[in-house]
Amino acid sequence: MAQYDVIIIGAGPGGYVSAIRCAQLGLKTAVVEGRDTLGGTCLNVGCIPSKALLHASHMLHEAEHNFAAMGLKGKSPSVDWEQMKSYKDETIGQNTTGIEFLFKKNKIDWLRGWGTIPEAGKVKVGDEVHEAKNIVIASGSVPSSLPGVEVDEKIVVTSTGALELAKIPKKLTVIGAGVIGLELGSVYARLGSDVTVVEYLDAVCPGMDKDVQRSFKRILEKQGMKFIMGAAVSGVETTKTKAKVKYTLKKTGSEEVLDADVVLVATGRKPFTDGLGLDALGVKLSERGQIATDAHWATSVKGIYAIGDAIDGPMLAHKAEDEGMAVAEVLAGKKGHVNYGVIPGVVYTTPEVATVGQTEADLKAAGRKVKTGKFMFMGNARAKTVHQGEGFVKLIVDKETDRILGCSIIGPGAGDMIHEICVAMEFGASAQDIALTCHAHPTYSEAVREAALACGDGAIHA
Ligand code: NAI
């Protein structure tokens, strides 16, 4: 029986990053993972494969819509769906084997199989029991189910099945206008599917800045996606090859039906804790079924910690990574910390949408006095050059102190640009700090500086 300082359950971004940091800090570390490859949902059936399909379908969109205007003439490429899926799988393979390499380099043991915790200090994998001073649960999440909707991963799919469809559907209905629905919906819209998104709320991407929600939906509509808002899906009926999505329009109460070849259920995710034995151990869960932890990721049972999608907070790979590193530091006797106020969120559509901090609406609702600076990408030379002049940067700052409280960007490269604001917020910077920082020309980032200038005496190119 092997003895470890730490056993981590789950090799997703939370678990594998935590393992590497534990090993770097001198702890003897093992990771339990039941999949055939490391990397969890993110690398195998989430962030990474969807980005491959988003990239490939974006290239097609460029060829179809923008090449001719740039003098690139000729027939647009046709889609070889099998090859596109192989390219996606290759991308997954490069990343998952990369983590295997990092495990070997850091002398981390991979305990292959699904783990249970028979008691604190012990993890059972198959017939073997391994001992550890501390256990970190990083078991992630799975798609939540919707009453009346049975997923078969062929006609009615979650994000997992949507990455592996046998063919590109003629008609795709997406339930839920959240991140998954909009990213994968836009992949298939670009590949030629007739995509309709049915959403319960009146706006896309719940919780986002209202200006962004409106602009984002308009842009996606221009790209051909259709939306039925304020509609509660109550069930899906399937035949061998087709589906009927039943929904009720909240305003009128009328019951409607939508035909589809494929239905993507993207109505949220829930913690995956099945089989860990948490009940018997007495590990406390929150009302929402998440593992309850204290400020140092300790559960109610001594020696058992939890991070990532299995606990409270946004279900984001990078939030799990940060918690993974921080809990490793706690276990090594250092001071691990995560600033939950500065966790960016990105939607990888074209244009990208990125947010950090609080929204104008939330701040105003909390009674804060704020001012905003907004700059449209239409005034950014670089964005116009690449046919991406839609969208804007919106900065929210404290009215008195000018300190940055939040930012939303919809536009080219938004997911990378948001980090300038994350760093600024970590340093307690003001909009003026950004405005006084020289930004290279011509870059998309100039739009961030212009938004900062708009918080003061005014943007230059507005
Ligand atoms: P979500 O919570 O973002 O959105 C789900 C949407 O479904 C909501 O707008 C909700 O109102 C709607 N909905 C729920 N029940 C409905 C019904 N019966 N009829 C119609 N609409 C209904 O969930 P999503 O998109 O499934 O994503 C799950 C998690 O994965 C999220 O926490 C997300 O942040 C994360 N994720 C993040 C990504 C990224 O950062 N780029 C990519 C993919 C997932």
> What letter would DSSP give residue 87?
H
* Residues 258-285, mean pLDDT to the nearest whole number: 97
Q: Are residues 325 and 445 in the same domain?
A: no
Please give the helix or strand (H or E) that residue 207 lies within, else none.
none
- 256 and 165 within one domain: yes
Mutate to test the pocket of ligand 1, among 44, 53, 159, 180 (most ligand atoms within 8 A of CB): 180
Smallest CA separation from ligand 1 atom 14, residue: 267
Contact 459, 379 (CB under 8 A): yes
Do 352 and 247 share a domain, yes or no? no
Instruction: Show the DSSP H helices in 284-442 as ranges.
Output: 317-331, 360-365, 381-385, 414-426, 431-435
Nearest of 44, 267, 39, 49 to residue 138 by alpha carbon: 39
252 and 196 within one domain: yes
Look at residues 338, 364, 383 and tell me which one is the last residue of a structural domain: 338
| Mean pLDDT on 109-123 | 97
Residue 80 · residue 56 · CB < 8 Å: no
Residue 378 included in any domain:
yes
Tell me if residue 292 falls in helix, strand or coil: coil
What is this structure's pTM?
0.97
- Number of independent structural domains in the chain: 3
Asked whether residue 459 is assigned to any structural domain, the reply reads no
66: domain CATH number is 3.50.50.60
Q: What is the pLDDT of residues 92-103, one digit of tens each?
A: 999 999 999 999
Does residue 150 belong to any structural domain of this protein?
no
Give the chain's mean pLDDT.
97
Residue 393's nearest CA partner among 319, 316, 318, 459 is 459
Confidence of residue 76 (pLDDT cuts 50, 70, 90): confident
CB 145 within 8 A of CB 151: yes
**How many A from CA of 159 to the centre of ligand 1?**
11
Q: Is residue 182 part of a domain?
A: yes
Sign, CA torsion 95/96/98/99: positive
Ligand 1: residue whose CA is nearest its atom 43: 180
Q: Which atom of ligand 1 is nearest to the CA of 144?
A: 26
Asked if residue 37 and residue 61 are part of one domain, the reply reads: yes
Range of the domain at 107: 3-143+270-338
State which of 267, 293, 316 marks the end of a domain. Answer: 267
Coil, helix or strand for 431? helix
Name which residue sits closest to atom 38 of ligand 1, judged by CA. 179
What are the pLDDT digits (tens) for 299-357? 999 999 999 999 999 999 999 999 999 999 999 999 999 999 999 999 999 999 999 99
pLDDT tens for 142-176 read 999 999 999 999 999 999 999 999 999 999 999 99
Beta bridge partners of 110: 31
Does 163 share its domain with 215? yes
Separation of 204 CA from ligand 1 center, angstroms? 10
Q: Looking at the structure, do residues 16 and 128 belong to the same domain, yes or no?
A: yes
Give the β-pairing of 122-125 and 115-119.
antiparallel
Same domain, 163 and 254: yes
Crossing angle of the two packed helices 47-65 and 179-190, in degrees rounded to 10: 40
60 exposed, middle or buried (CB, 10 Å; 0-12, 13-18, 19+)? middle
Summarize pLDDT for 234-263 with one digit per residue, the tens. 999 999 999 999 999 999 999 999 999 999
Which of 338, 355, 386 delimits the end of a domain?
338
Angle at the Cα of 160 (from 159 to 164), degrees rounded to 5? 110
CA of 317 to the centre of ligand 1 (A): 15
Predicted confidence band of residue 81 (pLDDT cuts 50, 70, 90): very high
Give 225's DSSP letter. -
Q: Is 409's pLDDT higher than 90?
A: yes
Residue 180 placed within a domain? yes
- The verdict on residue 43 lying in a domain is yes
Nearest C-alpha neighbor of 81 from the set 187, 10, 175, 158: 187
Q: What confidence score (pLDDT) does residue 2 get?
A: 75
Whole-angstrom distance, CA of residue 208 vs CA of residue 408: 8
In this structure, are 14 and 114 located in the same domain?
yes
Residue ranges around ligand 1 (CB below 6 Å): 146, 175-181, 183, 198-201, 206, 232-233, 266-269, 314-316, 345-348
Q: Rounded distance, CA 130 to CA 118, Å?
A: 10
User: Is residue 149 domain-resident?
Assistant: no
Q: Tell me, what amino acid is at 73?
A: K
Ligand 1 atom at minimum distance from 234 CA: 18
Q: Would 14 be classed as within a structural domain? A: yes
Residues 129 and 226 reside in one and the same domain? no
Rounded CA-CA distance 206/266 in Å is 13
Same domain as 135, residue 8: yes
d(CA 94, CA 75): 32
Other Cβ atoms less than 10 A from the Cβ of 287: the count is 6
Q: What is the pLDDT of residues 346-397, one digit of tens each?
A: 999 999 999 999 999 999 999 999 999 999 999 999 999 999 999 999 999 9
Spatial distance between the Cα atoms of 170 and 196, rounded to a whole number of angstroms: 11
Q: Work out the percent of the chain whose per-residue pLDDT is above 70.
A: 100
Are the C-beta atoms of 172 and 260 separated by less than 8 Å? yes
Could you tell me which of 311, 345, 444 has the C-alpha nearest to residue 390?
444
In this structure, the strands spanning 404-411 and 392-398 are antiparallel
| Residue-level pLDDT at 1 | 67
Active site residues: 441
What element of type H or E holds 236? Answer: strand 231-238
Tokens 């991308």 correspond to: 91
> Which helix (H) or strand (E) is 31 found in, with range?
strand 29-33
Give residue 69 CA to ligand 1 midpoint distance, Å.
36
Q: Both 125 and 12 in a single domain? A: yes
Q: What is the CATH number of the domain that holds 436?
A: 3.30.390.30
